[in-house]
């Protein structure tokens, strides 16, 4: 352990040398490398958490740069995978820790693979469908996780510890994945609220990982930086009748079905996921698509610029269709140029 690197953090008595050693031995997963996720990952890696897994399905675009702090204009121009671009920047900040980028769409097929070998899961996502999936895994395997959300000028945060606190289903009901809430697509978001919420998420994680459980927040934080509001909302007790943590019915983990993700935060993009994962022969696919537009091929993903839309294809067959709003058209274009 590089004591000089962490000297100021170890001077903080609740952490000290013993807490720093615990951080070095800890493992975390950050789900989503957008606005919240980039702050989460930066603070965790710089704090000396020994292993950080970065999970994200998306690529960098220009509209991300206002608030997603690990990327630059070159990343956006090249359409780099967020997880890989973030990992590259973070390794430059701290070479003493392990950083694992995972370019994948977290779903019922792979969630337990990526989330069950860590000490804490941190939520950097922008939708409740994935949050409910994280909650299922966390409750099933008794892994603490930190919920966070930021949109417009307000945000929320809560440290959820299965068996000790209510779970997400206790707090919000059995399903909020169907929409009806504001998103950054509809009302935007400003960077200061992102930084505040993510920093609170990391603070709770550091408390837990260093054995300072007595200082955990144990309530839901609500903040509105524009209207100067700051509240602590009591979460109450666990619901013994909760379908998830009470009855252990993991609806989102056991859904056994794939869906088409229509909106990714910030622009018109439709995700198409094939019914079965397959390994795309990327070099052959690049040759196939070159007659239709400019192709950039980086090994982990392929990007093709058509006249009025762009295709980003991943090695597992998943694709992002940028500039496409109609689901049927997205499926048709995927079938025409990629195959199903």
Most confident segment among 119-133, 136-150, 290-304: 136-150
Q: Across the chain, what does the average pLDDT equal?
A: 90
Mean pLDDT of 258-268: 55
R_g over Cα of the chain: 20
Chain segment 248-257, per-residue pLDDT in tens:
999 999 876 6
Res 178: pLDDT:
46
Q: Which of 159, 154, 100 is nearest to 135 (CA)?
A: 159
User: Is 81's pLDDT higher than 60?
Assistant: yes
Structure pTM?
Answer: 0.85
126 confidence band (pLDDT: 50, 70, 90): confident
Res 179: pLDDT:
46
Res 258: pLDDT:
58
Secondary structure of the chain as H, E, C letters: CCCCCCHHHHHCCCCHHHHHHHHHCCEEEEECCCHHHHHHHHHHHHHCCCEEEEEECCECCHHHCCCCCCCCHHHHHHCCEHHHHHHHHHHHHCCCCEEEEEECCCCCCCHHHHHCCCCEEEECCCCHHHHHHHHHHHHHHCCCEEEEEEEECEEEEEEECCCCCCCHHHHHCCCCCCCCCCCHHHHCECHHHHHHHHHHHHHHHHHHHCCCHHHCCCCEEEEECCCCEEEEECCCCCCCCCCCCCCCCCCCCCCCCCCCCCCECCECEEEECCCCCCCCCHHHHHHHHHHHCEEEECCCEEEEECCCCEEEEECCCCEEEECCCCHHHHHHHHHHHCCC
Chain segment 18-35, per-residue pLDDT in tens:
999 999 999 999 999 999
Give the Cα separation of 233 and 307 in Å (integer).
50
Chain segment 193-246, per-residue pLDDT in tens:
999 999 999 999 999 999 999 999 889 999 999 999 999 999 989 999 999 999
- Please identify which residue in the block is written with the tokens 């995700």: 271
Res 110: pLDDT:
93
Higher confidence at residue 142 or residue 109?
Answer: 142
Q: Which of 302, 264, 270 is nearest to 283 (CA)?
A: 302
Q: Which of 195, 36, 28, 210 is nearest to 116 (CA)?
A: 28
Res 132: pLDDT:
95
How far is the CA of 42 from the CAs of 13, 39, 117, in angstroms? 22, 5, 21
How far is the CA of 319 from the CAs of 77, 135, 211, 295, 333, in angstroms? 18, 26, 42, 14, 11
**Which residues neighbour 179 within 8 Å (Cβ) at sequence distance 6 or greater?**
none
Higher confidence at residue 183 or residue 58?
Answer: 58
- Please identify which residue in the block is written with the tokens 């999936």: 133
**Which residues neighbour 152 within 8 Å (Cβ) at sequence distance 6 or greater?**
182, 187, 188, 189, 190, 193, 226
Chain segment 291-337, per-residue pLDDT in tens:
988 898 877 789 999 988 999 998 888 899 998 887 778 887 887 88
Mean pLDDT of 64-70: 93
Give the Cα separation of 271 and 261 in Å (integer).
5
Higher confidence at residue 127 or residue 134?
Answer: 134
Which CATH number, 3.40.50.720, 3.40.50.300, 3.40.50.1360, 3.30.559.30, labels domain 7-233?
Answer: 3.40.50.720
Domains of the chain by residue range:
7-233, 269-337
- 285 is written with which tokens? 């696919």
Give the Cα separation of 82 and 101 in Å (integer).
9
User: Is 261's pLDDT higher than 60?
Assistant: no
Report domain 269-337's class: alpha beta
Q: Which of 181, 237, 205, 193 is nearest to 66 (CA)?
A: 193
């Amino acid at each position: 352990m590089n004591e000089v690197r962490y000297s100021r953090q170890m001077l903080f008595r609740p952490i000290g040398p013993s807490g720093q050693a615990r951080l070095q031995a800890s493992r975390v997963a950050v789900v989503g490398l957008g606005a919240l996720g980039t702050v989460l990952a930066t603070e965790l890696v710089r704090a000396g958490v020994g292993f950080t897994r970065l999970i994200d399905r998306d690529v960098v675009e220009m509209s991300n740069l206002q608030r997603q702090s690990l990327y630059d204009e070159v990343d956006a121009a090249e359409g780099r995978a967020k997880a890989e671009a973030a990992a590259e920047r973070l390794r430059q900040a701290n070479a003493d820790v392990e950083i694992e980028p995972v370019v994948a769409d977290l779903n019922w097929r792979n969630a337990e693979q990526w989330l069950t070998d860590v000490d804490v899961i941190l939520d950097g996502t922008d939708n409740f469908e994935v949050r409910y999936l994280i909650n299922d895994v966390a409750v099933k395997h008794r892994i603490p996780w930190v919920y966070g959300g930021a949109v417009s000028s307000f945000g929320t945060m809560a440290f959820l510890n299965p068996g000790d606190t209510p779970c997400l289903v206790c707090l919000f009901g059995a399903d909020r994945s169907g929409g009806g809430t504001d998103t950054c697509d509809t009302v935007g978001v400003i960077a200061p609220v992102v930084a505040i919420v993510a920093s609170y998420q990391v603070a709770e994680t550091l408390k837990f990982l260093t054995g300072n459980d007595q200082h955990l927040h144990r309530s839901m934080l609500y903040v509105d930086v524009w209207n100067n509001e700051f509240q602590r909302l009591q979460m109450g007790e666990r619901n013994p009748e909760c379908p998830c943590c009470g009855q252990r019915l993991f609806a989102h983990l056991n859904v056994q079905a794939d869906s088409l993700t229509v909106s990714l935060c910030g622009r018109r993009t439709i995700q198409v996921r094939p019914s079965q994962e397959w390994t795309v022969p990327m070099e052959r696919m690049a040759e196939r698509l070159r007659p239709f537009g400019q192709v950039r091929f980086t090994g982990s993903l392929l990007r093709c610029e058509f006249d009025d839309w762009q295709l980003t294809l991943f090695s597992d067959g998943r694709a992002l269709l940028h500039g496409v709003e109609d689901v049927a058209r997205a499926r048709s274009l995927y079938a025409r140029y990629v195959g199903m």
